[in-house]
Amino acid sequence: MSWRLKESLFYCRKLGRRINMSYVINEIWASSTNYGATRPTSNIKYIVIHYTGNNGDTAENNGKYFQGAHRRASAHYFIDSDSIVHSVPDNRIAWSVGGNKYNNAGGRLYGIAKNANTLNIELCDDTKDNIIYPSNATIENALNLVRELMKKYGVSESNVIRHYDVNGKLCPSYWVDNSRWENEFHSKISHSSTSSITSAPTPYRVRKSWSDVKSQTGAYNNLDNAKRECGTGYNVYDANGNVVYSNGGNTTPTPKPSVSTQSKPSGNSLVRLGQQHAINFTGHTIAVDGLVGKETNRMKARVLQHAINLDYKKGIGEDGIFGRKSKAALGSHYVKKGERQYMVTAAEILMYLNGIDPNGVECPGKYGNGLVRASRQKFGDDGLKITASEFLKLI
């Protein structure tokens, strides 16, 4: 079954042909165990934009995933570059924006925008390039859906918001920055068509020299932030290795290769995924560059501290310094195959940050075969259990 939106352009994967002036929304209904009660649609006051946080996923795959029972989460719609999936009926409450408020600048509508009065839209990233960012077509489809839902339910443009605005979760992480959110999505809602969208930002990198990758202390989308964090003896470099700011570092230009090559994302793709998942899990921001430097190593400890607090209610500081109090809180705790808890989530993220693929991250996580294989690779044992001492090795 499907219903149609007017005045858009959509490529229908299932029919294998181009449909002009309309596009089809495919209904792949989630299991009823994954969403809540019926509500009058007059209760809908907000439209919330999310992102799946995955690289190379599709609306259809997400729809099918939530057909499975007891996922403990849901969204009304999933969107990719050539399809929209309706997963939860609009008159049912999706489990999308609940949870505690994060300790950051977000959450301005905490306690106001809730599961009961929101429609929730997840943006997929169906281009597997190790950079989590929506395509122009995905954004275009989302804008058209948002316009239709606004009209249908009387939602104002000011009430089209981010998950970040609800409780501070860094979602969508690429639009936590207010200016980027406004320029790339929110300001375009009132227009009938959108202009091209800025591609994923290439960060400014702080290093002693461009060739000294290991000296990198951070990567920043904002040049002013990079300058502020540039210590003595370091430079700020653009994507091409040019010095744009120096604080006493080596400014000798790095020889360029004689044959031009297409630029590719730097760092390890698995580490990059771990950095993104760590941001989502902890609510703290680091560069998503695939490089394991000081800030990523500190994030490893923060991930474990956050899981300890969630599972064991220890109330330790989540400062990324795993000292005496943190070790005492960890104690002899362990996780084993079949268990579901936040310590499993931490283990999955930490595997990624160590360059090992645990086959995804769940929150709370269930210790499955992917983590078993990752644990075997890391520790050389049967992989059925991760002990306290092994957690310390992961950070």
Q: Are residues 292 and 178 in the same domain?
A: no
Residue 254 inside a domain? The answer is: no
Residue 87 inside a domain? The answer is: yes
Number of domains in the chain: 3
Q: What is the C-alpha to C-alpha distance for residues 170 and 284, in angstroms, rounded to an integer? A: 8
Q: Are residues 239 and 387 in the same domain?
A: no
Range of the domain at 347: 269-394
Q: Where are the beta strands (DSSP E) in the chain?
A: 2-6, 10-12, 17-19, 22-27, 35-38, 46-51, 77-79, 84-86, 92-94, 118-123, 160-162, 204-207, 218-220, 234-237, 243-247, 335-336, 340-341, 365-366, 385-386
Q: What is the C-alpha to C-alpha distance for residues 192 and 276, in angstroms, rounded to an integer? A: 33
Q: Are residues 221 and 95 in the same domain?
A: no
Element (H, E) at 372: helix 369-379
Residue appearing with tokens 């122009």: 136
Of 162, 188, 214, the position where a domain reaches its end is 188
Q: Are residues 83 and 222 in the same domain?
A: no
Q: Are residues 227 and 299 in the same domain?
A: no
Tokens at residue 233, please?
Answer: 């003896």
Q: Are residues 13 and 117 in the same domain?
A: yes
Is there a contact between 334 and 311 (Cβ–Cβ < 8 Å)?
no
Q: Are residues 52 and 158 in the same domain?
A: yes
Residue 174 inside a domain? The answer is: yes
Q: Are residues 352 and 302 in the same domain?
A: yes
Of 159, 188, 217, the position where a domain reaches its end is 188
Q: Are residues 299 and 168 in the same domain?
A: no
Q: Which of 86, 58, 88, 55 is nearest to 71 (CA)?
A: 88
Tokens at residue 27, please?
Answer: 């209904």
Q: Are residues 170 and 229 in the same domain?
A: no
Residue 198 inside a domain? The answer is: no
Give the dihedral sign, CA 205/208/212/215.
negative
Residue 195 inside a domain? The answer is: no
pTM across the whole model: 0.53
Q: Where are the beta strands (DSSP E) in 80-129?
A: 84-86, 92-94, 118-123
Q: Are residues 323 and 380 in the same domain?
A: yes
Residue 92 inside a domain? The answer is: yes
Residue 262 inside a domain? The answer is: no
Residue 264 inside a domain? The answer is: no
Q: Is 206 left (phi over 0), alpha (psi -120 to 50) or beta?
A: beta
Q: Is 107 exposed, middle or buried (0-12, 13-18, 19+ CB in 10 A)?
A: buried
Question: In the chain, what is the straight-line distance between the N-terminal and C-terminal CA atoms, in Å?
Answer: 48
pLDDT per residue rounded down to tens, the chain (395 residues): 334 343 333 333 333 323 333 356 889 999 999 999 999 999 999 999 999 988 889 999 999 999 988 888 999 999 999 899 999 999 999 999 988 898 888 999 999 999 999 999 999 998 887 778 899 999 999 999 999 999 999 999 999 999 999 999 989 989 988 999 999 999 999 875 433 333 345 567 788 887 777 777 776 666 777 788 788 888 888 877 788 888 877 666 554 443 333 334 457 888 988 988 888 788 788 888 889 999 999 999 999 999 999 899 999 999 999 999 999 999 999 999 999 999 999 999 999 999 999 988 877 788 999 999 999 999 999 999 999 999 999 99
Q: Are residues 298 and 226 in the same domain?
A: no
Q: Which CATH number belongs to the domain containing residue 37 in this structure?
A: 3.40.80.10
Cα distances from 280 to residues 27, 52, 216, 362, 393, in angstroms, run 28, 11, 23, 11, 22
